[in-house]
Amino acid sequence: MKYVARRKQHAIIHDATNDEQFAKDIYIQSNDAKSILCSPIVHHGDITAILYLENSLTTGAFTPDRLEVLKMISAQGAISIENARLYNTLEQKSDRTHRFQSGS
C-alpha cells in the first residue's frame, strides 16, 4: 500500500503465492491470497483512499478490464467521500453558529 500511495498508481499481483517479492509475506501465506489489486482513489490529484482487493480462489482475477471498471467506481466513491467531508464541515460550522447565537 505504501508503494501505491507514494506513486499514486495501482498495483496488481496476479499470483501472490508464487510471486518472488510477496510469496514469503506472512499475510500472503496465512490468508492464501492469490490475486491482489491495490489502487489509489485519487480526486483532484490527492489520494482520498486506497482500494485493496484480494482473491484467494484464483490467480489473475484482476484483469485490465476489471481495473477500468473499478477505477470508474472509485472515482464516484472519491466524489462521495469529498461530498461527505464538505457536508460534515458545513454541519460543524452550522452547529457552532447556532451555539454562538443561543449564547451557549
Is residue 11 a contact partner of residue 3, using CB atoms and an 8 Å limit?
yes
CATH topology of domain 2-102: Beta-Lactamase (3.30.450)
For residue 33, count other CB atoms closer than 10 A to its CB: 19
Mean per-residue pLDDT for 27-52?
89
Report the pLDDT value the prediction gives residue 63, as an integer from 0 to 100. 92
The answer to whether residue 69 scores a pLDDT higher than 90 is: yes
pLDDT at 71: 87
Q: How confident is the model at residue 53 (pLDDT cuts 50, 70, 90)?
A: very high
Question: CB within 8 A of 57, min separation 6: which ones?
Answer: 34
Provide the residue ranges of all domains of the chain, joining segments of one domain with +.
Answer: 2-102
- Average pLDDT rounded to a whole number, residues 42-71: 90
